[in-house]
Amino acid sequence: MFDFEKVQDFEKHINLSIPNYSGLCDIFRAFVSEYSHPEGLVLDIGCSTGSFLHSLQKRNDIKYLGSDTVDIVKYKDFDFVNKDCEEVLKEQSETDIIVSMFTLQFLGKHKRKRVVSEMKRLVENGSVLLVSEKCFFDAKVENVLKREHLQQKREGFGDSEILDKDKELFGSMYCLSEIELTRELSEIGNAVQVWQSYNFKGYIVFK
């Protein structure tokens, strides 16, 4: 099982692991600015260090809340709860923005179904969901993308580090196929793809 708390520099680790991660953050920041309102809530589930919430240009009349089951938060300019994402979502009656960056893929199918149901409830109440996930493609396409991604990761990680992480992620990460992910997001609301790098995708989902 992959242990996030053992990663020494988590922000560097993410930027090396996900190509053009900074581009995804730029796009999601723009949507947060567009869709957040006075007296509203911006909720980031699985916020890890809290770097995304920290990077936002904040307003005093908006609440910013991050949640994660591990406490590796580095920043103090937003509220943080050390709670499971399902529990945090259930506690909300409405939000302006829900941010889920590579969080669903670490949930087993049963928990994921319940979390998606809570997301759907909040989107139906007017929330906008910003979600990014890694997904699988057709076998030949997947092989090409994986080969190129591995080559890029070797610029930041040693071969043994790459292999060890793959082993640790087995049984921890449950990615969907592109078709399954599209179907899942369509059940939540109107899903529009706004970012892609290799087999990592970002979407905005609204009512």
Position 190 pLDDT exceeds 90: yes
Is the sign of the CA dihedral 134, 139, 141, 145 positive or negative? positive
CA separation for the pair 56, 63 (Å, rounded): 12
CA separation for the pair 9, 176 (Å, rounded): 27
CA separation for the pair 170, 204 (Å, rounded): 28
Pairing status of strand 79-81 against strand 63-67: parallel
Higher pLDDT pick, 142 / 127: 127
Instruction: Parse the chain into domains and list their residue ranges.
Output: 4-206
CA separation for the pair 137, 11 (Å, rounded): 27
| pLDDT per residue as tens digits for the range 83-137 | 999 999 999 999 999 999 999 999 999 999 999 999 999 999 999 999 999 998 8
CA separation for the pair 160, 56 (Å, rounded): 35
Assign a CATH topology to domain 4-206: Rossmann fold (3.40.50)
C-beta of residue 175 within 8 angstroms of C-beta of residue 133 = yes
Question: For residue 57, what are its two tokens?
Answer: 């240009």
CA separation for the pair 45, 190 (Å, rounded): 20
Please give the DSSP secondary-structure letter assigned to residue 47.
-
CA separation for the pair 52, 24 (Å, rounded): 10
Q: Residue 132: in which H helix or E strand, if any? A: strand 128-136
Position 202 pLDDT exceeds 80: yes
| pLDDT per residue as tens digits for the range 8-44 | 666 776 777 888 999 999 999 999 999 999 999 999 9
Which is nearest to 12 in space by CA: 48, 53, 54, 58? Answer: 48
Residue 67 dihedral angles phi and psi, to the nearest 5° = -140, 150
Position 53 pLDDT exceeds 80: yes
Question: For residue 105, what are its two tokens?
Answer: 């893929």
